[in-house]
Amino acid sequence: MKKILIPLFAMAVVTSCGTAKISDGNASHPVSTKHNKAFNNAYKVINAEDLKKNLYVIAADDMEGRDTGSKGQKKAGEYMINYYKTLGISAPKALGSYYQKVPSEFMKKRGGGNLPDSENILAFIEGTEKPDEIVVVSAHYDHVGTKNGVVYNGADDDGSGTVAVMEIAKAFQQAKKAGKGPKRSILFLHVTGEEHGLFGSEYYSENPVFPLANTVVDLNIDMIGRDDPANRGKQYVYVIGSEMLSSQLKVINEAANKRTNNLELNYKYDDLNDPEQLYYRSDHYNFAKHNIPVAFFFDGIHEDYHKPGDDPEKIDYQLLEKRTQLIFTTAWDIANREERIVVDKK
């Protein structure tokens, strides 16, 4: 997550072996998916072991802290693309590549100094009934690099979000292979340059591969692998922004939570006037400022935030699994309901 505050542009369950319920149609009326074999099989493929396996690669020392445009970040990106290829998940046809170049000049004009060219990474599952409507699941895959010879691995920030997006993609692909792909298309968006200024998501929002008018929601994941001092040992996740633009999104997410792992949903930072200003500090904001509903999932500011101790052995993988399952279930609901969620707040 970006450390320095950005300008305020627009201030104005079950365990992994069970079954789950989600809502459909009206946001406040959940329906059972007990007999939805495709959903339940997809839900069950999200597991702590695979999250851990991928995170130990993404946050390894040889990724050199994944600074924007660095050799280590590009190496991490190659690993992610090979993962998607192995799953049979393609790049967007409209882009013709998994890479969306984010030019150095674009970042420089926005205070990015002399950062080199970098890339957003995009993977895509086309919807079966409403392919032109896009559900975005996003996370940044950059971190702060190496300082004085010490690697800042960024396992939680945002290796945890990166591997969660990868795992959610695997779950949707599982459903697709079973003949139950999502009605709406899903864009798995890994953005660069977040730590320096939300550059990758800003570039995407100004150069969208799919029209922003067709983008239904952004579910953004930035740090979901640990706990903060105020919530030590709790089964929780902070949710930010879910009712800023849509009266339905928070209802959908809460219903998904109650019918899955029933985490404590903490709304402490879900306030435009909160001193931490977290609504503006991660990549969802570059969707929200274009009037696209967002939900930002976050674990809080812990003692290793932006420090060299943010390592993969400190991740709570069981809690990471549960949070990932919640986000998947929320995405499933939004992707498969008959009507797209409303935008009825400003």
Inform me whether the pLDDT recorded for 17 exceeds 70.
Answer: no
Q: What tens digit of pLDDT does each residue of 63-89 get? A: 999 999 999 999 999 999 999 999 999
pLDDT at res. 268: 97
Superfamily, domain 40-336: Zn peptidases (3.40.630.10)
| Mean of per-residue pLDDT scores for the chain | 92
pLDDT digits (tens, 9 = 90+) for 80-123: 999 999 999 999 999 999 999 999 999 999 999 999 999 999 99
Contact 230, 276 (CB under 8 A): no
The C-alpha atoms of residue 98 and residue 119 are separated, in whole angstroms, by 9
Give pLDDT, residue 2: 79
- pTM (predicted TM-score): 0.93
Q: Enumerate the β-bridge partners of residue 215.
A: 134
Q: Count the residues in the chain.
A: 346
pLDDT surpasses 60 at 181: yes
pLDDT value, residue 192: 98
Helix%, strand%, coil% for the chain, nearest 5:
35, 20, 45
**173-to-48, 88, 97, 202, 337 alpha-carbon distances in Å:** 18, 8, 19, 28, 18
Token duo for residue 267: 């709304």
- pLDDT per residue over 239-277, tens digit each? 999 999 999 999 999 999 999 999 999 999 999 999 999
